[in-house]
């Protein structure tokens, strides 16, 4: 299961990048210009000029750089990011918490990671795209915690529509397998493998899992 979780997460990172660029491409471009060129005074970027947002950005970027260093204390950096998430404005609060959860999971603190993802998923101030991503990651990692029925219930809406639909359907299939419902898992995986709108990586994993189920 850990290898499969890593593979699904890699796919999610690709999907997340595509989804964010599609929805926030112009905003991300503007942010890059602000950071790299020191451009100021752009209308529509009042939040960037806010002292608290600037401080949060500096702290967030510093923590993410520290996490990328060789020999980094991942657990400590996860706690640092979680602290940033407690005080930062909405945007950086969400990003800091998502990163904190990912690092906590990497450090082996699964329950802490699940709690943070669940916190983001239930944050009404966070963008829906991030809330859904947090719920999806909660579900993916929650399989190891042994709560497949709850995962199926909470992720069902994500599997019906939205940018995370394919990944949610994959996690739902895994949840059915974890619950011992081979017939339901087979049905979901068969649909994924045959769906040309599903990303190739997910279709290939679905086919591999089907082969494993059918022996």
Alpha-carbon distances, residue 150 vs 2, 22, 69, 115 (angstroms): 20, 31, 37, 15
What pLDDT sits at residue 144? 82
Pick 87 or 1 by higher pLDDT: 87
What pLDDT sits at residue 86? 86
The per-residue pLDDT for range 132-187, each reduced to its tens digit, is 999 999 999 998 877 899 999 999 999 999 999 999 999 999 999 898 898 999 99
- Strand extents, DSSP E, the chain: none
Q: Nearest 5°: CA angle at 110, between 145 and 94? A: 115
Average pLDDT over residues 118-143: 93
Q: 106 Cβ partners below 8 Å, 6+ apart?
A: 74
What pLDDT sits at residue 35? 40
Average pLDDT over residues 83-111: 89
Q: Is the pLDDT of residue 120 over 90?
A: yes
Average pLDDT over residues 38-59: 58
What pLDDT sits at residue 121? 97
* Two structure tokens written together for 191: 């649909």
Q: What whole-number distance in Å separates Cα of residue 21 and Cα of residue 31? A: 13
What pLDDT sits at residue 119? 95
Encode burial over 119-133: b for 16+ CB neighbours within 10 A, e otherwise. bbbebeebeebbbbb
Q: Is the pLDDT of residue 36 over 60?
A: no
Q: What is the pTM of this model?
A: 0.77
Contacts 24+ apart (CB under 8 A), 40-47: 47/89, 47/91
Pick 127 or 23 by higher pLDDT: 127
């Amino acid at each position: 299961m850990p290898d499969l979780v890593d593979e699904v997460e890699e796919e999610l990172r690709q999907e997340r990048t595509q989804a964010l660029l599609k929805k926030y491409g112009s905003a991300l471009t503007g942010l890059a210009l602000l950071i790299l060129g020191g451009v100021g005074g752009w209308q529509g970027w009042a939040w960037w000029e806010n002292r608290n947002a600037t401080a949060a950005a500096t702290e967030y970027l510093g923590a993410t750089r520290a996490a990328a260093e060789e020999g980094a204390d991942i657990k400590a950096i996860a706690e640092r990011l979680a602290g940033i998430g407690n005080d930062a404005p909405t945007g950086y609060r969400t990003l800091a918490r998502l990163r904190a959860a990912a690092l906590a999971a990497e450090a082996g603190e699964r329950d802490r990671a699940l709690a943070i993802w669940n916190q983001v998923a239930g944050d009404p101030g966070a963008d829906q795209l991030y809330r859904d991503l947090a719920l999806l990651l909660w579900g993916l990692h929650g399989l190891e915690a042994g709560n497949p029925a709850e995962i199926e219930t909470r992720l069902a809406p994500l599997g019906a529509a939205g940018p995370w639909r394919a990944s949610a359907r994959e996690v739902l299939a895994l949840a059915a397998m974890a619950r011992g419902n081979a017939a339901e898992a087979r049905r979901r995986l068969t649909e994924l493998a045959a769906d040309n709108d599903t990303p190739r990586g997910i279709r290939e994993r679905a086919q591999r899992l089907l082969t494993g189920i059918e022996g």
